[in-house]
Amino acid sequence: MICFPQLSTGAVGQFPIEKRRLSRTLVNLIAGGDTVKLADAAASTVEWVLPFEMLSDEEAAALVELHARTEGRFGAFTFLDPMDNLLCWSEKLDESVWERNSLLTITMDVADPSGGTRATRVANTGSGALAIEQIVNGPGWFQYAFSLLIRSDVDQQIALIRSTDTQTQSANFNVGAEWKRVLLSGKFTGTEESVTFGIEVGSGHSVDLFGIQGEAQPSASGYKATLSRSGLYPSARFMDDDLSVTTVGPNQHSCRIRIHARG
């Protein structure tokens, strides 16, 4: 997998990051003078401007290597948006992208911590612990933060799980009647090209979930709700054929990178 690298801090970018979405509307003029307007989904793109300062020799070399490998604008690479959620359908856990045993039941439109009804109740009717999971086709060796808000009518423990084909990280969290934010953060070695995020519920228990989020960084940021599209862009490209890196001191470099992808 050719992917945009993480910095030594575990982040993909440095603030301030500029991001904008470009779209096109098709307008049809019909008999009688009326118009019909439709969004052209195939023409939608997203652009980022990423300024980098105080890069180490290794970090600068990784960016230069990627730019050379893709021959500037010519080749594509996987980009994990540092300003978005890597999980699809963050508030519709009954979508097929969420893998679960049929003994895990999903109830939508549950009261959420912001006063709405966007939370989801997951109940385990089986005889053993069961997990609901989503696979993200991003680099398994990246640093990730997996976070969500959770509560339960009964005091219990739930587990957050992050795994690849060969490695697994999990942590147990105490859950009670009050909404609580939980976070699982870490990174693996290896070369796997996907990572799975999961929530494990004990037998006979149910939990309310809200704000489920995966990010390519060490800590959680503000929640971003997603639908069918997430912050994973497998065919991103540089917008410039030249990459200028300025050296400002020993082991200190700066540059400005522009990226775009179908959005």
What is the pLDDT, as a whole number, of residue 34?
A: 82
* Domain chopping of the chain, boundaries: 18-83+233-262, 104-230
What is the SS3 string spanning the chain?
Answer: CCECCCCCCCCCCCCCCEEEEECCEEEEECCCCCEEEEECHHHCEEEEEEEEEEECHHHHHHHHHHHHHCCCCCCCEEEECCCCCCCCCCCCCCCCCCECCCCEEEEEEECCCCCCCCEEEEEECCCCCEEEEEEECCCCCCEEEEEEEEECCCCEEEEEEEECCCCEEEEEEEECCCCEEEEEEEECCCCCCCEEEEEEECCCCEEEEEEEEEECCCCCCCCCCCCCCCCEEEEEEECCCCCCCEEEECCEEEEEEEEEEEC
Give the Cα separation of 97 and 84 in Å (integer).
18
Q: What DSSP state is assigned to residue 241?
A: S
What is the pLDDT, as a whole number, of residue 202?
A: 97
Q: Which residue has the tokens 């990459």?
A: 243
Give the Cα separation of 182 and 175 in Å (integer).
9
Q: Which amino acid is at 261?
A: A
Q: Which residue has the tokens 């105080």?
A: 54
What is the pLDDT, as a whole number, of residue 205?
A: 97
What is the pLDDT, as a whole number, of residue 45?
A: 95
Query: 85-117 pLDDT, tens per residue?
Result: 999 999 999 999 999 999 999 999 999 999 999
Per-residue pLDDT in tens (0 to 9) along the chain, 263 residues = 999 999 999 999 999 999 999 988 888 888 877 888 887 777 789 999 999 999 999 999 999 999 999 999 999 999 999 999 999 999 999 999 999 999 999 999 999 999 999 999 999 999 999 999 999 999 999 999 999 999 999 999 999 999 999 999 999 999 999 999 999 999 999 999 999 999 999 999 999 999 999 999 999 999 999 999 999 999 999 999 999 999 999 999 999 999 999 98
The CATH class of the 104-230 domain is mainly beta
